[in-house]
Amino acid sequence: MSLVVVGVSHRTAPLAILERTSIPSTDLEKALHQLSLKPHISETVVLATCNRTECYVQATRFHDAVDEITDFLGEWSGLDRETLSEHLYTYHDDTAARHLFQVAAGTLSIVLGETEILGQVRNAALRAHEAGTSRHQLGRLFRHAQEVGRRARTETKIGEGFASLSSVAVAMAAETLGNLSDKTVVLLGAGEIGMRMATAMASSGVHDVVVVNRSPLAAADLAAQVGGRHRPIEELPDALHDADILLTSTGADHVMLDRDDLEMIMSLRPGRPLLIIDLAMPRDVAPDAGLVPGVTRMDMEDCKTFVESSLDQRRQELSTVLEIVDHEVERERSERAHREVAPLIAEMRRRVEQIRQAELVRYRGRLEGLDPEVQELVDSITKSLVNKLLHQPTMALKMSANQSDGPLTTDLVARLYEL
């Protein structure tokens, strides 16, 4: 059984490919079940965020499972295998665990050390557990990853400064427009990222936040949290007539605003510019909307460029975070190895105890003539003898679990005890 991850991220693919491979939250359960039905996959967790789609699986056959995940991503995205493979990465066992731990620690995010990814890792594990596609192995691994993420942020300063894409969006807006306190902000989407952006905008001094969402209840709830207003999705064009900034982060699988929409909206507000920051995946605003006069459009690629200039302090913390990751990978390897030999140790002890009990039965006739105290002494002595004889092979199995010759030791013990 192997731990395998196959994925695509902002580090390996352009935004157009990330959009094609993205898995909206509403489709996540369907995706999990499709993967879990593959012949060589026994458990699966899908981590789908705005800048990565990763499939973590317990595989009965490594190469076959990799092919199955690749085929799944190809079918989901509509990309041919050759095009898709150029952007995929594959890790297994220790390297797969190290990759997940680095993701949780924020070292592989657009914003180094971002805080949002830890919640996304936790949510991915929870969704897979609820769907029944993640059980003991992946459940344990993802709990460990969350522990690594928390350690990275409490024991180092990697989370200081820009802590999330939401804070980056606010900083980008402030750099573009200056003081934001007198600006009207329309927020399209009331999910986790939308909530963080609304909070960040309110904290930066923005007094007029308008939340637009498909769910009126969700829009009203978020607006109440930040002291803003809310409008139904049908009134988005009207809401944009008075807006200075549009922040988008919906989970829609289609464009919410195209170039024609923006041209119509801008024609009704001549001379007033509109800044759009689109953090949705796939994008909510068509890329060519930025060509409309008066519209400035930014997305994930702009976020990557923006944060490059503010990473010096966090990069100084990176080596310490990677030391934490290495330590936790070694711990994960050790615990996994001991879990693998535990059934063999239990079976060896069961087999020897079976022999001991059989011998006591064979000599029952002679033992029945002895005093009860002597019979108990015989039972105690034989138990002690068995434990002493099994001590060395038990320790050898446990020690070999972390060594290269471990399989040879386990095979030898299995043959000696006919297991």
Lowest average pLDDT, out of 151-160, 274-283, 390-399, goes to 390-399
Q: What is the CATH number of the domain that holds 237?
A: 3.40.50.720
Return d(Cα 111, Cα 108) in angstroms, integer: 8
Specify whether the CB–CB gap between 3 and 56 falls below 8 A: yes
Pick from 82-96, 296-310, 340-354, 397-411: least confident: 397-411
387: left (phi over 0), alpha (psi -120 to 50) or beta: alpha
Measured CA to CA, the distance from residue 246 to residue 188 in angstroms comes to 7
Q: Residue 246 pairs with which residues in a beta bridge?
A: 186, 276
CB-CB neighbours of 396 under 10 Å: 15
The CATH number for 105's domain is: 3.30.460.30
Per the structure, the complete domain to which residue 247 belongs is given by 181-307
pLDDT of 85: 94
Q: Give per-residue pLDDT as tens, 127-152.
A: 999 999 998 889 999 999 999 999 99
Binned at pLDDT 50, 70 and 90, residue 404 comes out as low
Q: Tell whether 316 is covered by a domain.
A: no
User: Whole-model pTM?
Assistant: 0.70
Give the DSSP per-residue string, 318-364: HHHHHHHHHHHHHHHHHHHHHHHHHHHHHHHHHHHHHHHHHHHHHTH
- Out of 4, 45, 48, 50, which one is annotated catalytic? 50
Residues 188, 49: one domain? no
Same domain, 11 and 89: yes
Sheet of 229-232: strand order equals: 229-232, 208-213, 184-188, 245-248, 274-278, 295-298
Q: Check whether residue 150 and residue 193 sit in a common domain.
A: no
Q: Same structural domain for residues 9 and 154?
A: yes
Task: Return the exposure string of 85-94: e unless at least 16 CB atoms fall within 10 Å of the residue's CB, then b.
Answer: eebbebbbee
pLDDT for 162 equals 65
Instruction: Kindly state the average pLDDT of the residues 65-88.
Output: 95
pLDDT tens for residues 91-128? 999 999 999 999 999 999 988 888 889 999 999 999 99
Q: Is 216 in the same domain as 349? A: no
Mean pLDDT in residue range 340-357 = 83
Residue 290 CA to residue 298 CA, distance in Å, equals 8
Say if 396 falls within a structural domain: yes
Q: Is the pLDDT of residue 90 over 70?
A: yes
Per-residue pLDDT reduced to its tens digit, 200-219: 888 888 889 999 999 989 99
Domain total for the chain?
3
Cis amide linkage into residue 282, ω under 30° from 0: yes
Of 23-27, 263-267, 327-331, 392-396, the poorest mean pLDDT is in 392-396
Let me know: does 341 contact 371? Beta carbons within 8 Å: no
Tokens 């108990």 -> residue: 376
Under 8 Å between Cβ of 59 and 1: yes
Active site residue 55: no
pLDDT at 418 over 80: no
Please report the DSSP string for 117-133 in residue order: HHHHHHHHHHHHHHHT-
pLDDT average, residue stretch 260-265: 94
Residue 170: its pLDDT value, please? 87
> What are the φ and ψ backbone dihedral angles of 24, each rounded to 5 degrees?
-60, 155
Whether 115 and 208 share a structural domain: no
Mean pLDDT of the chain: 88
pLDDT above 90 covers what percent of the chain? 53
pLDDT of 373 strictly over 80: yes
pLDDT band at 366 (very low <50, low <70, confident <90, very high): confident
Q: Quote the tokens at residue 336.
A: 């996994």
Nearest to 307 by CA among 23, 51, 124: 51
**For 158-187, what is the mean pLDDT?**
86
